[in-house]
Amino acid sequence: MRGRAPHGWRALPVAVIIACTVNTGCAAATPGGPGPSPTVPPSPSGTPSAVVPSNGTTAPSDGARRAGLIDVTTFLPDAVIDLRYATADNFVGVRLYPAGAKCLVHESMRVGLTTAAAILRERGERIVFWDCYRPHSVQVTMFEKVPNPAWVAAPGAYSRSHETGRSVDVTLTSGHGLVDMGTDFDAFTPQAAAHATSGVTAAQQANRARLRAAMAAGGLSAYAGEWWHFDGPGAGVQRAIVDVPVN
């Protein structure tokens, strides 16, 4: 379930609602460089290869900065950014993010992701980011398309997980293309479970385990229902709704 709250989450009083439109700019809110874009060759497994849209050098919006969001490529310049919701190649079938969308994460994710990336880099692998911060309004659209909380978290009166930039959807790439994990992103099948064995080869299970181990070393926990989803510290805490531009 994208945006699911991990065990142990707690609610906080609403202190701020950052209300900006995703496609335009920030409205008033109450208080509260990257290297060249690499191209990844096709994966031997046949999984669609990762591509890296141009991120440009524009800083995050004022609303994003107030929410503590930072661009992943500012501290992981070799990260591969393939935001599926910035294209029509997703389960909704339409583009949900505007042109120039960035992979934004909460600043508390910096150390953990840096640690994970360093471990994987030693093996000649890089992290591919499929989704990062997700505006609340996009979560609403997703749930309208797939109103099944087993797969898509029901939007509520608070933001958590992706909606606060404290969860990411990722995979790995090597010099030969995407690492074979057994399913594509947002595969609504039993094989998508992090520890699935039926229909998932031993090699694919080992690849998932290697990703989990690196992320765990950085303090990010795997969500059992989706092998690609990882939660950072505080991902399950209910916070004021965050709906700021991703570009």
What is the Cα–Cα distance from 29 to 25, expressed in whole angstroms?
Answer: 12
Reading phi first (left if > 0) and then psi (alpha if -120 to 50, else beta), residue 26 is in beta
Nearest CA-CA partner of 127 in 215, 231, 234, 232: 215
Yes or no: say if 222 and 230 are a contact pair by the CB < 8 Å rule: yes
- What residues contact 202, with CB distance under 8 A and at least 6 apart? none
What is the Cα–Cα distance from 9 to 236, expressed in whole angstroms?
Answer: 5
Query: Measured in whole angstroms, how far is the alpha carbon of residue 106 from the centre of its chain?
Result: 11
Query: Measured in whole angstroms, how far is the alpha carbon of residue 122 from the centre of its chain?
Result: 22
Q: How far apart are the first and last CA of the chain?
A: 25
What is the Cα–Cα distance from 49 to 169, expressed in whole angstroms?
Answer: 16
Q: Any catalytic annotation for residue 163?
A: no
Nearest CA-CA partner of 156 in 25, 10, 1, 3: 3
176 known ligand binder: no
What is the Cα–Cα distance from 166 to 141, expressed in whole angstroms?
Answer: 20
Residues making up the binding site for Zn(2+): 162, 169, 229
Which residues are part of the catalytic machinery? 226
